[in-house]
Structure 1
Amino acid sequence: MKVGRVAIITRGRYAGKKGDVLDELRKRDRFGIGSIGLNEKDVLTRDLFAKSQVVIVQPNDTGSKAHPFPYAIVAGIERYPLKVTRRMGKKMVEKRSRIKPFIKVVNYNHLMPTRYTLELEGLKGAVSQETFKEVSTREDAKKTVKKALEDRYTSGKNRWFFTPLQSMPHAQNGTMGEPSVNGEKVHSHFLDHLTSYPVVSDSITVLKSNKYAAKSLEYADQGYVRIAKPLLPYLSKPYGYVAPYVAQVDNLGDQGLTKLDSSFPIIKEDTDKIKGTIYDTAFFPVRLAGDVKSHVFETFGSEYKKCGGDGMVAGSKAAISTSLILSQESLAYISSFLQKKKTQAKEAVNDKTN
């Protein structure tokens, strides 16, 4: 590695969720760590500053008497700068742009090199093995690192280095939830199949375009992040017992939709085509001459008024009741369609027998 390469610490008090980075790293190809050079970007895989980005200040491939192993002296950010806006004054911007750095000796085994580098001329020779012998010299070195990092931040360069690393991303659309602690992503074939119908996906899009529905979804997401998400690691073990049963139910639902596709292909047609061929159905995309948008908005607005309130609770209740009403109309449409097919089949049999 060279001076300026950046690293990430993945164990310790800065690691976030226990093991989430390590689980992710196990899925990737391991980087071969040979000679380490100054300014190279690495991933630090253990110790107190785990999951923090660090920059190599001084590498040592052979080790020393105090550290009989290959190591590197790294510098990183313990407290990141805060967000600033145009309305803030100069003093406020300077205050929120402050950085609290740290310097540390790290074993090569706890570093994962990356392809990024951070060229900081002010760090060359600022930190060495002698720096850690006295508290005063260590504090002076941290001040030098602090000034170099703040100058680079205010210049607008390498902004990615001054942003905290994120945890594992949310599950993608079509999943039943976020990845579990062991990295397994719970996937729902039934939901994927259901949302593949144009009439369902169009209805969801229209519902999201409504400002009240969008606000309700936003409140629900905030509640999930603040309340439910922190509990997921504790629920991973209980979920492991019921996971096979949940998967079986999901497969049965997907098989049911597959049979529905083969029996009634019209359900896979575009919403406009269904609207043009069926006028007397109660299904919401074609109700009232097929005005999907007005029907969804009217239904949600009516339910929102019935709740007699304002804010997250009323919006959530209205969204749930709207979903139930639309589901009931969907079932009514399918029932009506099946009844027509049954009548046509009887007429065809009667014609042949007569």
Structure 2
Amino acid sequence: MPDKNTYPVQLVQPDGRRVHDRVHAALVSDIGATELRALYTDMVIARRIDVEATALQRQGQLGLWPPMLGQEAAQIGSAHALHPDDYVFCSYREAGVAHVRGVAPEDMTRLWRGVAHSCWDADAVKMTNPAIVVGAQGLHATGYAYAAHLEGAEIATIAYFGDGATSQGDIAEALGFAATWGAPVVFFCQNNHWAISAPVRVQSATPIARRAFGYGIPGVQVDGNDALAVLAVTRQALAHARSGGGPAFIEAITYRMGPHTTADDPTRYRTSAELELWQGRDPIDRMKRLLDREGMWDSDFERQVTERADDIARRMRAATVAMPDPEPMELFDHVYATPHALIEEERSEYAAYLEGVRP
């Protein structure tokens, strides 16, 4: 069960030195050189995907993109804790989680390109598509988790959301239901300090993890820029949920170094000094320093990681630019799983409209 504290768990300092924390270190005692290198590799790939997608939007190839720059450790560390059958309910910023869950780079941008209602097959990777409605995924994760529990499935679900989403009623309702019914769901809050232009201090007068306590849910704060610590507490929370202990809450303290989306200008509401402070806590640099300190870093490994990340970015770019525009009538496909009278009515009306305006 996660610790009921609001002191961020940390296992690796920004300079790469280990922190003496036997309790949480034991949760990742099996993580050796291979696993640490895998964490680093996925973090670099996640950033490369993010940088490339941002460039694609700036070049007019995507309508919008929500950057995750600076949040790689929170996403990759938590995603590595998941079992294949666990189900992820994301917000709109979890491209790093999607990569770990097996989403192909060719499928990353379909929604953001505006050519489809979704990016990937959710059931194939056990992860929902980007959710634009802030906080709604908390309810979806709770309902799915409870239904899976009733069917005897030994899985957990995880709901990702930001600090701003904790002000939404949907998250409050999800916490209340999950606590009352013991749903095996982990609520994972990426506290990146900014809900668009509103700082976290106006979202909560107390550490966000403490909110869970009022619902009877164990909560923990973790250094969200420390991938190893995130992996440890997420493993702990998922095990708590899977074993019948009910829901758990994680607040990962991280920072959004880029804009909220590519439609945002963060220089209008935050200072350059704040950004520089968090750049010094860069999660990828931290993992690199740990690998270097412990003799797991060399130029060949660095080259392999760079080449792999560049290849994934190349594949994503090529697929994005080549995506054909959908036929107008495809707008009504894949809206409901079964026939729906309203959709059929709208389909007929739109078909008649197209017939009237086509030359």
Instruction: Give the TM-score range, shorter chain.
Output: under 0.3
User: What's the TM-score once normalised by structure 2's chain length?
Assistant: 0.21
**Per chain length, whose mean CA-contact separation is higher, i.e. which structure has more relative contact order (CA < 8 Å, sep 6+)?**
2
Larger Rg: 1
